Amino acid sequence: MGIEVKGIAKRFGAFTALDNVDLSVRDGELLALLGPSGSGKTTLLRIIAGLEFADFGEIRLNGEDAGDRAPRDREVGFVFQHYALFRHMSVFENVAFGLRVRPRADRQTNAAISARVTELLRMVQLEWLADRYPSQLSGGQRQRVALARALAIEPKVLLLDEPFGALDAKVRKELRRWLRRLHEEMHITSVFVTHDQEEALELADRVVVMNHGRIEQIGSPAEVYDEPASAFVCDFLGQVNRFDCEIENGLARTTQGAELRMPGLNGTRGAATCFVRPHEIDLVPIDREGPEAAQVRLIHQIGPNARVELDYAGHILEVEVGRDRLPALSLSVGAWCALRINNARVFPR
């Protein structure tokens, strides 16, 4: 089922939480709402669910105006970060709950409910825990039960608010992959909220980047990462070196007085913010200090890459270098290098 969000605005008192938001979620898509705390992600999700009402604008589900429909009539399932399971109910009964409280006319027989719950528990790989109570589960297992419970009513749309937020990094990563596989099997239109850019880029078909109640950009993970539409998006998505500059004659002079040569400056003049990702800089060892020299401060070696932190005329910057290249560069703390910037994004200020 597709979702259309048109001109949605929401204020809480004098505070504007959402400001004229337009968004179209395609049928079967997995969409991430990504943004810093307070950018309006949860409010937008709650308005789609019908848990909150917009001051202006329209929500259409499957082409029909859903603005006046109660949550239960929108055929949405949701999972929240701290979505408490019913503590006094077993895993099995938690998942069965939505099926048992249906109006009598729509209710299935006990045998049919039982078969459906068993199937759902198999899908979330928790069949063996059916008789346990929530207090006897790990955080990751609880989130999977919450997901099975949301899926039980066969929603047409699945809304997830920081579903893995409270879990440790390793469990989060596992659940992410697992959710992606589940989505590939089921193709339910799904929208999830996260403030973790890695989670959004890894999991979503498209990413919606939000800031101050507005959408800054909508695009595939590659689009928002490689072709950010604004300085905010570039800064928010992944590690990046940022320089506030004055640009003249193809040269960027930083506010601290350093000079940088980089692609993308031709045709630009005046005040700009320049962004360079750590893997877009090459280091060239040089013998001694000079106007173009940067000095190595730290070298972190993690996995196949090394992160080299350098001081360039008072700017601290990060450069990523393949570990196999370190010996040839003979880099060490205190050594001097020249910078070769291969790619940059420049936004007028």
Torsion from C-alpha of 153, 158, 159, 163, nearest 10 degrees: 90
Out of 21, 34, 43, 160, the only residue in the binding site for ligand ATP (CB under 6 A) is: 43
Give the range of 33-41, 241-249, 260-268, 311-319 binding ligand ATP by CB under 6 A. Answer: 33-41
Smallest gap from Cβ 47 to ligand ATP, in A, equals: 9
Smallest gap from Cβ 80 to ligand ATP, in A, equals: 10
Instruction: Indicate the residue among 189 and 194 with the shorter CB distance to ligand ATP.
Output: 194
For residue 97, report the phi and psi dihedrals to the nearest 5 degrees: -50, -55
**How many residues contact ligand ATP, by CB under 6 A?**
12
Report the b/e string of 265-291 with b at 16+ CB within 10 A.
beebeeebbbbbbbebbebeeeeeeee
Smallest gap from Cβ 167 to ligand ATP, in A, equals: 16
d(Cα 202, Cα 47) in Å, to the nearest integer? 25
d(Cα 275, Cα 57) in Å, to the nearest integer? 36
Structural contact between residues 264 and 244, judged by C-beta atoms closer than 8 angstroms: no
d(Cα 52, Cα 205) in Å, to the nearest integer? 26
Pairing of strands 157-161, 76-80: parallel
DSSP assignment of 168-180 equals -HHHHHHHHHHHH
Give the range of 12-20, 104-112, 132-140, 252-260 binding ligand ATP by CB under 6 A. Answer: 12-20
Query: Is 163 one of the binding residues for ligand ATP (CB under 6 A)?
Result: no
Instruction: Take residue 232 and report the two structure tokens written for it.
Output: 């905010």
Alpha carbons within 13 A on the beta-carbon side of 128? 2
Instruction: Indicate the residue among 37 and 249 with the shorter CB distance to ligand ATP.
Output: 37
Out of 29, 30, 40, 206, the only residue in the binding site for ligand ATP (CB under 6 A) is: 40
Out of 23, 29, 32, 41, the only residue in the binding site for ligand ATP (CB under 6 A) is: 41
d(Cα 19, Cα 199) in Å, to the nearest integer? 25
Give the range of 36-44, 271-279, 287-295, 302-310 binding ligand ATP by CB under 6 A. Answer: 36-44
Out of 7, 12, 168, 248, the only residue in the binding site for ligand ATP (CB under 6 A) is: 12
Instruction: Indicate the residue among 37 and 330 with the shorter CB distance to ligand ATP.
Output: 37
Out of 29, 34, 35, 262, the only residue in the binding site for ligand ATP (CB under 6 A) is: 35
Query: Is 17 one of the binding residues for ligand ATP (CB under 6 A)?
Result: yes
Instruction: Take residue 304 and report the two structure tokens written for it.
Output: 């196949």
d(Cα 189, Cα 187) in Å, to the nearest integer? 6
Query: Is 109 one of the binding residues for ligand ATP (CB under 6 A)?
Result: no
Out of 14, 37, 135, 327, the only residue in the binding site for ligand ATP (CB under 6 A) is: 37
Smallest gap from Cβ 341 to ligand ATP, in A, equals: 33
Smallest gap from Cβ 196 to ligand ATP, in A, equals: 10
Instruction: Take residue 99 and report the two structure tokens written for it.
Output: 């099926």
* Window 275-314: contact mask with ligand ATP (x via CB under 6 A): ----------------------------------------
Instruction: Indicate the residue among 166 and 299 with the shorter CB distance to ligand ATP.
Output: 166
d(Cα 22, Cα 106) in Å, to the nearest integer? 35
Smallest gap from Cβ 35 to ligand ATP, in A, equals: 5
Cα–Cα distances in angstroms (integers) from residue 2 to residues 57, 62, 83, 200, 230, in the given order: 17, 5, 25, 20, 27
Restricted to residues 182-241, the positions that interact with ligand ATP (CB under 6 A) are: 195
Residues that bind ligand ATP (CB under 6 A): 12, 15, 17, 35, 37-43, 195
